[in-house]
Structure 1
Amino acid sequence: MTTESSSLLRAPHRTQPRLDRAVMLVAIACVLIVVGASFVSPGILSPGYLLQQLQIASILGVLATGAMLVILLGQIDLSVPLTITATAILSTTLAGSGVPALEALAIPAGLAGGVLIGLINGLGVVLFRIPSMVWTLAVNAMLLGITVFYTGGFKPNGAPPTLAVFIAHGRTLGIPNAFLLWLVVGGVTTFLLRKTIFGTYVYAYGQAQRALFMAGAPVERLTLAVFAFAGFMSSLGSLLLVGYANQAYQGMGDTYLLPVIAAVVIGGTSILGGSGSYAGTFVGALFITLLSSVLSLMQVPDALRQFIFGAIILLMLLINRHPRTR
């Protein structure tokens, strides 16, 4: 094992001070958005509005969780939109089938579908050595064809799973269940990244894949596991979205790709991989949700909103363009 390899495996994610600064800056920006918007609409400061934003941000946060791990590898997953749509259609079709056995499988089947899509993405990168950007974009296009063929381009028949509706809309002690689920997801993900060999490998892969391979780490299995995890999170976020919207529809995931990537990058995760913290993704998802809500209140056109999201991503890429500390 080389000196570089051993150093990567010992502490690949200790050199994170500027990421902590990024988290603080984004958190401050969230506060400024809320306070600034309150001068236009004082109701923004009400507990009801803020809890609703936490509820909505939970969907984006869960989706961004899987995307973050893929980006930590230095890869990208562009199949998020149709993974959301396909698993939503699958789960609502089973939940609305009228057959108790199939209804019970609605959520497990939806989650399994996401894992399967993630494994297909990982296999393309591992077996065929095709860049993840190209492979996942092709998978997204194939999923689009499958869903259009199945639905005929119309709204699919079905019903949202009862549990999905309960989590998306229900509250425990006044706190949205979706937000509580997001906290659990965030806690588990943080533990995996900071306290397990899996997390060590993820950071080391993004910093120096060749060194990790030379150290004898299971690089291929790691890649498959991360993409499968990302697929699982996309399907979990899809179920939250289904429960929140009380339906599945063609193209329901189309608007999430850019916000998901923005939430990860804004939080300080390097698009080159190897550095980032889940706290950054957490505040990034809150920032995107609050910004989108405020822009909607101000009746900013959707085209301008997309432009703003893209500009923010470019700005964060410029801020974090310095070489990573190895």
Structure 2
Amino acid sequence: MKAQEMWKVADGSGITVAVVDSGFKEVPGVRSESVLPGVSVMSPPIKEPDKKYPPHDDVDGHGTTMTAAIVGDGSGGAPKGLAPGAKIMPVRTSLGTPTAFAAGAEGAQGIRYAADNGAKIINLSWGDYYAFEKLKPAVQYAQSKGVLVFAAMGNEGESNNATNLITRVPGVIGVGAIDETGEPLNLSSHGPNTDLAGYGSKARIRCKENSGWCVADGGTSYATALASASAALVWSAHPDWTANQVARVLIETAGGPVDGAKHNDWVGYGAARPSWVLLKKAGNPGAPDVDPLAPAPTNTPAPAPAPSQTAAAAPAEAAAAEAGLPWQWLALGAVVAAGLGLTGTLIVKRRRS
């Protein structure tokens, strides 16, 4: 990605990326000055309503890995982050803990906090189907504050291909994962909401209950962190741009699908290439208030559906969603987790009561 050359132009300085995840643990490889105090939105136990959780703790390691992918210094076995000059705002949820079922609602609260406290970019390397009704308005609130939101597509590509519902929110950048050769990872969830792709194959991640660094597939989580870092680099170089303009140039300069298509379900518009923006001065930022992912306007208004059609559509759509997306995932993937003994990465499935 020509990182060394890019950093001579911009390294992410001046940009705050909120990592709404499992928290952050101070570990070798991430400088303390790169991480802001942040906040914990973890719900206290019923029997301990006053219990507080520090944002600078992470029993799982997932949030710490995402942080390192963005601002790591490369020491102690850690990855070298793509935007080392950026600041990370850790927003700790219950991801990776026995109460992970609460993470979706907590995440919605955390997204609002990040938007109100200076984050320019929000990184969501997880998804929760059951909390979508709370997550969607929280994401839209952040967007109304000028925040750019990246969300991982999911790691269900080899099973039921359930995709993260957050990526369906207009303006959210859905990120898929590719390997060393630029080919899509089989585990990467994919669909029309994939907008960009990032590297998600073998990477340095936290493992063994966040006690060390090891090498494993980072999945769409890691890919999303790199996409967020790419945006931080571009925004650092062009601080007067809006979220729409940063997103537009990343889309315009992405390394497109190998078959020549403009967009496909696996990599979207292609792999993020911030070097094209910083070094080649490519990409047209365009209008500051126009979503680059919004459908082109048409002059022919769509006909209004008959009342009977409207009444039938909602339950049918809900039934389809219920059948296909009863999931909550943490993005390193259950298969990798089982093979490497990682914690906090199991897919959690719940039924409605």
Query: Per the shorter chain, which TM-score range?
Result: under 0.3
Structure whose residues are more often strand by fraction: 2
TM-score, normalization by structure 2: 0.26
Structure whose residues are more often helix by fraction: 1
